[in-house]
Amino acid sequence: MRPSPRDQASVSIPDYLEVYHLENYLFTTVANKFVATGNISLIDLYMIIIWKAPRAKSYALDRLRRIGKGEAAEAVSMMATALRDAKEPKNRLKVLMDCFGFRLATATAILTVFYPNEFSVYDRRVCEQLKCFEKLADRGFSEGLWSEYQDFIEAVRSAVPERTTLRDKDQHLWGKSFYEQCKEELGIET
């Protein structure tokens, strides 16, 4: 599917070195733009999706185009408005999952970029470290899912008391999982 003219609309050109360090770019430049303007550009959302789930980028873009009646940028604009209007964290997650069709992992990645003190990325590596919560991945939004996701966030906070921010805590758990996987693959014992 060819990009529509709106999807190709001019965007401000970033410092490419910043983009190279994608996670830092998302949590600084993109997050700050959202805080300052309340808007999300298509390319910024696309980069968040690639950061969390690169294999799902085409599927997500196609879904956004369907929602925006051929214009993914229109769907992203609708999403930004819906997130701004949703005053509670639970409602923000519901918007992304119910209205825009994101699964929990991608929805929480998007929300973690924009609301890092309220959300933590739901990730299988973090679940492995917590030894719990793996079954949330395939569920749709519900009050029960929200409650269990809140338990997940509390478990992340509790698991790494030496780190201060929620984002530092989930990165610590992800990093520990990755390190342990590498050791296991190399046959290195502690």
Query: What is the pTM (predicted TM-score) of this model?
Result: 0.91
pLDDT at 72: 97
Residues 130 and 120: their CA atoms lie apart, in Å, by: 13
pLDDT of 3 reads: 53
Question: How do residues 72-85 score in pLDDT, each as one tens digit?
Answer: 999 999 999 999 99
Residues 22-49: tens digit of each pLDDT: 999 999 999 999 999 999 999 999 999 9
CB atoms within 10 A of CB 111: 23
Give the number of other Cβ atoms within 10 Å of residue 146's Cβ.
17
The predicted-structure confidence for 82-134, as pLDDT tens digits, reads as follows 999 999 999 999 999 999 999 999 999 999 999 999 999 999 999 999 999 99
Altogether, the residues listed in the chain come to a count of: 190
Q: Is it the case that residue 4 has pLDDT exceeding 70?
A: no
DSSP 30: I
**Pure H helices in the chain:** 16-20, 22-25, 31-37, 42-52, 57-67, 72-85, 89-94, 104-114, 124-130, 143-159, 166-186
Tell me 26's DSSP state: I
Give the CA diameter of the chain.
56
Q: What is the mean pLDDT of residues 140-162?
A: 97
Q: How many CB atoms sit inside 10 A of residue 183's CB?
A: 12
The pLDDT > 70 percentage for the chain reads: 94
- pLDDT value, residue 144: 98
Domain definitions of the chain by residue range: 1-102, 120-190
CA distance 122 to 88: 18
